[in-house]
Amino acid sequence: MTTAIEFRNVDKVYGDTRVVKQLNLSIQRGQLVTLIGPSGCGKTTSLKMINRLIEPSSGSIFVSGNDTKAVDPVELRRKIGYVIQQIGLFPHMTIEENISLVPKLLRVNKEQYMKRADELMELVDLDPRMYGKRYPKQLSGGQQQRIGVARALAADPDIILMDEPFSALDPISREQLQDELIKLQEQLKKTIVFVTHDMDEALKIADQIVLMQNGHVVQHDVPEQILRHPKDDFVREFVGEKRFMQFNAFRHVEEVMTEAVTVRPGRGIAECVQHMRRRHVNSLIVTDREGRYLGVVGAEEVYEHYQNESATAEMAMRRDAPTVMPDSNVEEVLTILQTNAKGFLPVVDRSEKLIGVVTRASVLNVITPLTGEESDDGSTVASI
C-alpha cells in the first residue's frame, strides 16, 4: 500500500499558541482515516493544511509524493475533493451546476461533465431527473449533504477531505449518510480524511483512527486495536470506559449467559407449545427434578411429534445438542453459536446441572445493552 498523504514535522503556530506540534503522520492510499479528538486538538487545522486552506508554520506535507509547498494552491484544491459541515452549495446554481463546477473549471467538455453529474447523483441515491434542475434551498439538509459529497467526487479526485460533514444533520439523516459513505468507499476506494468529534461515527466508518490531543497524535491505529489496547488514560477516557468494558471485559460464558426457560420431561407437546408462546421462545430446555440438563425441545421437534398425543418433552427432545461450561471462553462459544441453528447453548456445571443459557441475543444485550424489554430468548427460569 502506497502513501497518499504524509506530514513531516509539521507545526502550526498562531501567535504564542502551537495548534499543531511536530505532526508526523502517514495516510495510506485508499483508506478512510478519521481525525478525532477534543475541541482545539488540531484536527481541523491538520485537515485544512493538506489542501493549503491553512499554511503550515514549519515542516512539510506531501500529497501523492509531492511537497504541497511546490504546488499552486488553487490547482491543488481542484484535485482534492472537499466536503464541509456547512455544505457550501452555491444557492444561485442548480444541483447539476453545483456538481459540475470543478470539472467545468478544469475545462472538461460540457457533455462529459453533465453526464458525470447525472452519474454522481445516482451514486448518492438521488434521481438526476428529479433533482438535477432544482436549487439547494429545495432540498433537505441530508439531500444537500449528499450533493456536497457528489460535488467532491466530480473531478474524480484521489483524495477527499471531509470536515465534520454530517454533524449538523438529524440523527436519522446522519446514520443514512454514514452508511452511504461506507458503501461509496467500498466501491470507489478513495483516500478520505474525515474529521469528526463523534467516536461512534469514527468507529463505524474508519479504516484507521487518528486520535489527537494538544496538537499531536496520541494513538493511530485500526478501531479494533484502539478499543482493545488504548495507549493511555486519555485514550481510554476519550473513547469511553463503557466501550472498553463492552469489548474487553467479557471472557467467560458466565458473564454473558441469561436464565433459561425450562420444561420437565413428562410434559406433553401441546403444553410445550403453550409454554413457548407464553414465554416468547422457540425452544425449551428439558431438565429433571434436580435441575440436571437432559436435552432441548425446539420448534422442529414439536412439529415432528405434535400429531402424537402421547408424546412428551422427553420423547421429542434432542439429546445431542451441544452444551458449554460456565468458564468456557466467550470467543469460542460465539464460534459454536454461529454454526448452531437454534442460536443458543445450555450452560451446565460438571454435574450436568443446568445453570443458564447463552444466546446470540444475550451476548449482544451485554455488549450493546438494549433499553426497554429484554430479548425473547428467555430471561427467567421457568418450569412446568
pLDDT tens per residue, range 209-240: 999 999 999 999 998 888 878 888 899 888 87
Q: What is each CA distance from 346 to 17, 148, 276, 352, 354, in whole angstroms?
A: 61, 52, 16, 10, 7
Most confident listed range (167-171, 326-330, 351-355, 372-376): 351-355
For 129-166, the pLDDT digits (tens) are 899 999 988 988 888 888 888 888 887 889 999 998 88
119 contacts: CB under 8 Å, gap ≥ 6: none
Segment among 257-266, 319-328, 333-342 with least mean pLDDT: 333-342
For 11-64, the pLDDT digits (tens) are 999 998 999 999 999 999 999 999 999 989 999 999 999 999 999 999 999 999
pLDDT exceeds cutoff 70 at 311: yes
- Kindly list the structural domains of the chain, giving each domain's residue range(s) and its CATH number in brackets, ordered by start: 3-248 (3.40.50.300), 253-367 (3.10.580.10)
Query: What is the chain's mean pLDDT, rounded?
Result: 85
Which residue in the block uniquely carries the three cell numbers 413457548?
Answer: 276
Q: What's the pLDDT at 341?
A: 59
Q: Is residue 102 very low, low, confident or very high in pLDDT (cuts 50, 70, 90)?
A: confident
State the average pLDDT over residues 169-176.
Answer: 80
Which alpha helices (DSSP H) does the chain contain, by range?
43-50, 73-78, 95-105, 110-123, 128-131, 141-153, 171-188, 199-205, 223-228, 233-239, 241-248, 269-279, 299-305, 313-316, 330-339, 360-367
CA 222 to chain centroid: 12
Q: What's the pLDDT at 379?
A: 38
Q: Is residue 371 very low, low, confident or very high in pLDDT (cuts 50, 70, 90)?
A: very low
Q: What's the pLDDT at 340?
A: 65
Q: What's the pLDDT at 177?
A: 84
pLDDT exceeds cutoff 70 at 370: no
Q: Which three cell numbers stand for residue 218?
A: 496520541
The Cα 345–Cα 332 span in angstroms is 12
Q: How many CB atoms lie within 10 A of CB 294?
A: 20
Cβ atoms of 10 and 23 within 8 Å: the answer is yes
Q: What is each CA distance from 319 to 185, 239, 303, 382, in whole angstroms?
A: 48, 45, 17, 20
Q: What's the pLDDT at 191?
A: 95
Cβ atoms of 230 and 255 within 8 Å: the answer is no
Q: Which three cell numbers stand for residue 99?
A: 456538481
Q: Which of 138, 134, 146 is nearest to 176 (CA)?
A: 146
What residues pair up with 82 in beta bridges, in sequence order?
Answer: 161
State the average pLDDT over residues 322-332.
Answer: 80
